[in-house]
Amino acid sequence: MHSRFSLQVLTKMAIKKSICIVGSGNWGSAIAKIVGRNVLSSPDLFEAKVNMYMYEENFEGRKLTEVVNEKHENVKYLPGIKLPENIVANPDLIASCKSADILIFVMPHQFVRGTCKTMQEHIKDSALAVSLIKGFDKGPDGKILMISKLIEDILNIDCAVMMGANLAPEVAEEQFCETTIGCKNKEQGELLRSVFETDYFRCAVCTDIATIEMCGALKNVVGIGAGIVDGMGLGHNTKAAVLRLGLMEMVKFGELFIEGSQEVTFFESCGVADLVATCHGGRNRLLGENVVKSDKTIKQLEKEILRGQSFQGPLVAQEINQVLKEKNMLEQFPLFTAIYKICQREMDPREFINCLRNHPEHI
Ligand SMILES: NC(=O)c1ccc[n+]([C@@H]2O[C@H](COP(=O)([O-])OP(=O)(O)OC[C@H]3O[C@@H](n4cnc5c(N)ncnc54)[C@H](O)[C@@H]3O)[C@@H](O)[C@H]2O)c1
Ligand SMILES: O=P(O)(O)OC[C@H](O)CO
């Protein structure tokens, strides 16, 4: 028979939560640094070892997972930043996630559907997912599907979200920032806050999950627009107009497509703040600048500039363009539409200013 004390200890051990990070790119690695440290500082709450599923690839003749686990650094996607030693890169998706109580999804959105299908039937029924992914999926009916919903539908578990003004290299350097957690109830919010919050990464929790997620996806498109005006050598006033008109289209998109979308959510870090961060320092902004300066395709630019990382803006622009076209609403979203056409190389980026000049907000 166990003594009362040892039973208490066993009970505590039994409820310790195990975490798996599903993804290991630029943001995945930056968040792994936070999660790895936080679990160590709450040993009663969390298992110390955190699996980080890593899509395997070669790095200078060796497996990337081996290099990451040896150097405790993601030398390809977040070089120069040490990861805690309890973060363990694993190329086996099912082995990484099967005993996890919390699944942190953080990968370019085009890979989520396939990844979830592989995980199906192999995860705990009681697991909680949280998506840090800024993009959309298209459901079988051709409608926009939130990534959190896609994860919920395939895995049959709850999925929260976390989005904000969080450029990964700055978070990895521990520069102060804020983020927004969206989840169904207070319990999930408190649990996720204990996973992510630090003194330099402050989490606000709210329940308007779909608006948070929509902001995260759409700001990537506006970021390209900001880069286009930078590429044209225009100044702060023009960029501010891109941000404002982009924000107006984001709000309108929420009104039309998200039931119960609340305007107040745009004032959280996931809204205006992420728009500002992306339009000034994001990869999508960099893409916009280069779209003006070169004739190369998006794929070529992605390969040359990001070397394995991903621009999510062009894909999101395409996803929403299809929906707006089907609904005959393209004219109500001229900024989103122009950025889509510029990314397809159907429109000269120098024409972008005409779209701003004639925007319905000015009529
Ligand atoms: N990087 C940032 O600053 C940042 C900040 C906040 C949110 N986000 C969002 O987080 C998500 C992930 O971004 P990221 O920066 O971590 O990724 P990333 O742009 O660095 O993408 C590279 C990752 O994709 C993986 N990958 C490539 N092919 C794959 C495949 N077939 N299946 C699965 N994975 C594959 C690579 O292994 C690598 O881990 C995106 O939605 C992004 O918008 C990024
Ligand atoms: O570098 P971007 O443009 O993908 O943006 C990164 C983050 O989403 C900023 O919060």
Residue 176 has pLDDT above 60, yes or no: yes
The pLDDT value recorded for residue 138 is: 83
Who wins on pLDDT, 312 or 5?
Answer: 312
HSE (side-chain half, CA atoms, 13 Å) at 99: 11
3-state class (DSSP) for residue 165: coil
Mean pLDDT is lowest, of 139-153, 252-266, 321-335, for 139-153
Q: How, if at all, do strands 177-182 and 159-163 pair?
A: antiparallel
In the annotation, is 219 catalytic? yes
ipTM of the complex as predicted: 0.99
213 lines ligand 2 (CB under 6 A): no
pLDDT tens by residue, 199-235:
999 999 999 999 999 999 999 999 999 999 999 999 9
Which pair of structure tokens corresponds to residue 197? 């919050």
Report in angstroms the alpha-carbon separations of 128 from 62, 188, 230, 251.
Answer: 34, 8, 41, 29
First to last CA, the chain: 79
Who wins on pLDDT, 14 or 229?
Answer: 229
Domain ranges of the chain: 4-207, 219-362
pLDDT tens by residue, 229-246:
999 999 999 999 999 999
101 lines ligand 2 (CB under 6 A): no
Residue 68 has pLDDT above 60, yes or no: yes
CATH 2.40.10.120 fits 4-207, yes or no: no
Q: 219-362: which CATH topology?
A: N-(1-d-carboxylethyl)-l-norvaline Dehydrogenase; domain 2 (1.10.1040)
Ligand that comes closest to the CA of residue 224: 2
Single pTM value for the model:
0.96
The pLDDT value recorded for residue 261 is: 95
The pLDDT value recorded for residue 287 is: 98
Which pair of structure tokens corresponds to residue 172? 């990895």
Which pair of structure tokens corresponds to residue 103? 């699944």
Q: What mean pLDDT is predicted for residues 76-95?
A: 98
Closest C-alpha residue for ligand 2 atom 9: 167
State the pLDDT confidence band at 139, using cuts at 50, 70 and 90.
Answer: confident
Residue 322 has pLDDT above 50, yes or no: yes
Give residue 264's Cα distance to chain centre: 21
State the pLDDT confidence band at 14, using cuts at 50, 70 and 90.
Answer: low
Closest of 189, 209, 133 to residue 166, by C-alpha: 133
277 lines ligand 2 (CB under 6 A): yes
Q: What mean pLDDT is predicted for residues 98-123?
A: 98
Q: Which atom from ligand 2 is nearest to the alpha carbon of 134?
A: 8
> Residue 349 carries which DSSP code?
G
The pLDDT value recorded for residue 4 is: 43
pLDDT tens by residue, 327-354:
999 999 999 999 999 999 999 999 999 9
